[in-house]
Structure 1
């Protein structure tokens, strides 16, 4: 058997909106009735589903000719055991690419945009008809690989969580987070809406809304990080959301750069409902309650996203 035929491809996909509705209402007719009752365009759901299934079939035909093949639904990512030699193919959207990267250890990720007219796909440089050529380049180690720096959150009881875009540390609900923040030799107690820690890949997302709000309040135009920073930069940026000044809480340590030699540490003062989650996935979180000390830094390994 040739080396080429021994290659394993893992294709990460997601459920369509139609499939999620069928799970919710048990059958498509019931789901369809719900949509029509709410005057929603049912055909849009059908068109999206049909095109996505077509793209999955095209990917399967392409990859089966080139090696072993494994489907992987998004919900199974946290428990799936990837091999170091796997080539991972993700069938959009951007969020699925980010969520996949953090469960890998440097395996190359080929990200496919299944519906360019529907999704902008900043992290989806390829179409299905590009796949055969890109796979050949990856196997020959001639592809353009972009390194992606991760953030890593570690608790004092040994739990860890990686982030491709950003980490959120704060309250589970719309209440105030209470904690002590330590960074760059300084410490300060805070009452805020939580803390965002952004990677380079995430610096064009949620992080930009924080900058935009701050500039709007102060009346300033532009900021050195308004364009974000590079995906492979070995540093992170933290920002405290809505810090409240009081006799016991300060507002001087609210924005700064996290590096390998300058980590960020937070000690929770919240008896309950404190959380740490990454990349907007609220269901996959670490508890951040009283007694928890969280250290945030740059992860040692990086992701590998195949670029055009």
Structure 2
């Protein structure tokens, strides 16, 4: 007998909840904000809208389903199951924070603050939840398949991300490593492109960023604009990644010829650590990072699993 679906509601603490945790009372929080030229009234209104959306989403879960809740800070300790339908209640970034822990489960994005959030990933209102849950479990339900990026270390550590993966020194200090690629199809932005399996370049930089089309509206786009890259940015569903080296430093032992490129399916960027420690994290979740030491290597490419966003 198959298990009934489980609706997993993902949320995060509101600004009002964080203020209360820090200052203890509503009055103290109000005083703190007023001293900085802000009113607590709008903060409370956004909190109330968030709580109302959570109540409406919870009420829309069918009685025959199981349900659970998880806060953003606990995602790395929560065990998602194959039969889950994940309902992200909040902002676009919360969908990205959740995606790295999933393995193909359908995701419903609920916007708790329409007009304030871009609504790229949280596309729906809480009143649509019941219909979206039915669509998520129906055979003909529509989903957008969003490309994800994955890093796999030589010790089998693995990390996925929806927007981008960053590889560099803790605290964004100078990182030292050897950068190579496997099966490159295109040319790098600098010289030295098209190198094969045995190639690579020792570099000193403030890190390497590898991003998807979903991440092309944020950090990846800023680097793309800064470099004046001739190629277009990928779309969210395109099987294509872009990578950039941040602030590569030339020296007698380090080069700057491999500073940007593109990865398709089956192609990987390879980084071998040449310093004491390098961290690898996705979508800004630096607290949940892979840690690599001297001589270890990591390969980054298109993940075998995409994000299934219910439309």
Q: Is TM > 0.5 for Structure 1 vs Structure 2?
A: yes
**Contact 1:92/1:121 (8 A) holds in 2:** no
Q: What are the equivalent positions in structure 2 for 1:17-56 lying under 5 Å apart?
A: 17-56=15-54
What is aligned with 2:222? Answer: 209
Task: Tell me the SS of whatever aligns to 2:286.
Answer: coil
Find the counterpart in structure 2 of residue 276 from structure 1: 280
CA distance in 1 between counterparts of 2:144 and 2:63 reads 27
Residue 55 of structure 1 contacts residue 114 of structure 1 at CA under 8 Å; is this kept in 2?
A: yes
Partner residue, 1:141? 139
User: How far does residue 65 in structure 1 lie from its aligned partner after superposition?
Assistant: 4.3
Runs of 5+ unmatched residues, structure 1: 216-221
Alignment map for 1:197-236 (pairs within 5 Å): 197-215=210-228, 223-225=230-232, 228-236=233-241
Match of 1:247 in 2: 252
Find the residue that maps to 1:209 and give its secondary structure.
helix
- 2: distance between equivalents of 1:144 and 1:290? 45
The equivalent position to 2:151 in structure 1, one of 153, 161, 172, is 153
Structure 1 position 112, deviation (Å): 0.7
SS, match of residue 288 in structure 1: strand
Pick aligned residue for 1:101 from 99, 102, 105: 99
Further displaced range: 111-120 or 255-264: 255-264
Q: What is the TM-score when the length of structure 1 is the normalising length? A: 0.89
The separation in 2 between residues aligned to 1:7 and 1:44, in whole angstroms, is 37
The residue aligned with 1:285 is 289
Structure 2 partner of 1:195: 208
Q: CA deviation at 1:168?
A: 0.6
CA distance in 2, matches of 1:32, 1:129: 31
* Shift, 1:66, TM fit: 5.7
Q: Is the 8 A contact 1:113 1:124 kept in 2?
A: yes
Q: TM-score by structure 2 length?
A: 0.88
Q: Deviations over 1:64-100 (max 9, x none)?
A: 5462221221122112122211111111201101111
> How far off is 1:248 after superposition?
1.4
Tell me the alpha carbon deviations over residues 193-235 of structure 1, each in whole angstroms, 9 at most, x when there is no partner.
21000122212321110011122xxxxxx7322xx21323333
1:266 paired residue among 264, 268, 271: 271
Name the residue aligned to 2:71: 73
d(CA) in 2 for partners of 1:169, 1:83: 29
| Root-mean-square deviation over aligned CA pairs | 2.1
Distance 2:39 2:119 in 1: 23
In structure 2, C-alpha distance between the alignment counterparts of 1:161 and 1:188, rounded to whole Å: 24
Offset, 1:289: 3.3
**Distance verdict in 2 for CA 1:194–1:135, change over 3 Å:** same
> Aligned-pair distance for 1:52?
0.6
Supply the distance in 1 between the matched residues of 2:118 and 2:239 (Cα, whole angstroms).
27
Runs of 5+ in structure 2 lacking a partner?
A: 182-194
1:294 maps to 2:307: no
1:117 to 112, 115, 118: 115
After superposition, the Cα gap between the structure-2 partners of 1:30 and 1:64, relative to the gap in structure 1 and judged at 3 Å, is farther
Which residue of the partner structure matches residue 218 of structure 1? none
Distance 1:134 1:97 in 2: 16
Contact 1:161 1:286 in 2 (8 A): yes
